[in-house]
Amino acid sequence: MAYKDHFVHADDLITSLKQVLPLVSDPLIRAKYVGFVSIASVTVYELAVKEIFILFAKNKGIAFGEFTRCHFKRINGRIQMTEIKHEYIKRFGEKYLNRFIKKIDSCKKVYMIQHQRDIEVSYTNLITWRHQFTHEGIFPSYASFSDVVDAYEDGKEVIRILAETMVR
């Protein structure tokens, strides 16, 4: 399965909620929908990150691929940028870490000009909102539905760059 295939789940939810949300007047229910979108978004990120690293390792060798698959069984939402950089990419070699950092920095500049948003900040915010909603029961009241959707779309760029980075 291609890493992008995982995005379909969150994309479908977002498309559906875009039709439903204008009909919801209760702000608490709207905030819950925002929380649900953050959960779905980070879940598909997690699946995509696992897919990218497992495929990379499988391309290096069957045993390495199986080891990586077992290792990534337990990442459970541990996909913050610092973890991706220093817990995951770095273990595959400094050249991949340096490549990722260069690609992120380059994309951030262009994306900022085009969208006025920082892909790393958006990615981090989305994970934070998901964590607060899931583990603390805090609804991201300061983030609107469109904020969460924008952060999700921005974060896809981080995942795309990770996929581009993790090739031989």
**Residue 159 to residue 144: CA distance in whole angstroms:** 23
Specify whether the backbone of 76 is left (phi greater than 0), alpha (psi in -120 to 50) or beta: left
Count Cβ atoms within 10 A of the Cβ of residue 13 and give its class: 0-12 exposed, 13-18 middle, 19 or more buried: middle
What are the counts of helices (DSSP H) followed by strands (DSSP E) for the chain? 8, 0
pLDDT at 118 over 90: yes
What is the distance between the alpha carbons of residues 95 and 75, in angstroms, rounded to a whole number?
23
CB 19: neighbour CB atoms within 10 A? 8
Within a 13 Å sphere around the CA of 165, how many CA atoms are in the beta-carbon half? 30
Q: Is the pLDDT score of 141 beyond 80? A: no
At residue 159, does pLDDT exceed 90?
A: yes
* pLDDT the model gives residue 138: 81
Average pLDDT score over the chain:
93
Q: Quick check: helix, strand or coil at residue 138?
A: coil
pTM score: 0.93
